[in-house]
Structure 1
């Protein structure tokens, strides 16, 4: 059996660097697949959906319009872009009073504020109107 090649400092340092990068990617949940991105902002007047779809004390994501609409109390609505301010991924779910970004785990409150990072800025507010039970961008 032949002796293995001796380890050089370059081999050890290179191997350690590759291992560190791989561990970092695993720890952040990154993959080679691109993250889901939020759609471009829709124009004013764009129909969003029925106000009845937005539960009191929670929110509803309207993917086609690129907004998440909240109703913190009965009859009070607010809207935000679905683009997470961290890296632009689209928020994808609502869990109770939290709006969740799937890419890195940021969560946002019904007022768009950051509940948990890595996002450091709130969701961008969007103007809406509610007329005859229908939500539209303003």
Structure 2
């Protein structure tokens, strides 16, 4: 996965879509693809942000933080581990 790139996977517990991103070389993050405003699916990261097509909320692709509302809660974050060339989605973090 290139820097700024992403991969969509599924949460093994809920089946919800999750985006794994690499905002900086060697830094991997994963966020729920479900908008915290109304539950719509956010679009794949572009220009460092995940955008919700339903009401315009935008989230930082490196932190999951709200950049632009109406959402007020960040996207839920998952752990990600790297072993060689393999990335593994960890549990949902609180």
Measured against the shorter chain, the TM-score band is 0.7 to 0.9
Alignment of 1:21-100 (within 5 A): 52=1, 55-56=2-3, 58-65=4-11, 66-100=17-51
Which position in structure 2 is the counterpart of 1:112?
A: 64
Q: TM-score, normalised by structure 2?
A: 0.77
- Partner Cα separation in structure 2 for residue 105 and residue 87 of structure 1: 11
Residue 103 (structure 1) aligned to one of 33, 54, 57: 54
Correspondence list, 1:8-27, <5 A = none
RMSD value over aligned CA atoms?
A: 1.6
8 A contact 1:67–1:82 mirrored in 2: yes
Whether the 8 Å CA contact 2:31–2:77 is kept in 1: the answer is yes
Instruction: Decide which structure has greater strand share.
Output: 2
Instruction: Decide whether aligned partners of structure 1 residues 87 and 61 sit closer, same or farther in structure 2, where only a CA change above 3 A counts.
Output: farther
Unpaired runs of 5+ in structure 2?
12-16
Distance in 1 (CA, whole Å) between partners of 2:5 and 2:59 is: 11
More helix by share: 1
Contact between 1:127 and 1:137, CA under 8 Å: does it hold in 2?
Answer: yes
Larger radius of gyration: 1
- 1:125 aligned partner: 77
Q: Residue 19 of structure 2 contacts residue 44 of structure 2 at CA under 8 Å; is this kept in 1?
A: no
Q: How many residues align?
A: 84
Contact 2:21–2:29 (8 Å) recurs in 1: yes
With over 3 angstroms needed to count, the CA separation of the structure-2 counterparts of 1:104 and 1:61, relative to structure 1, is farther
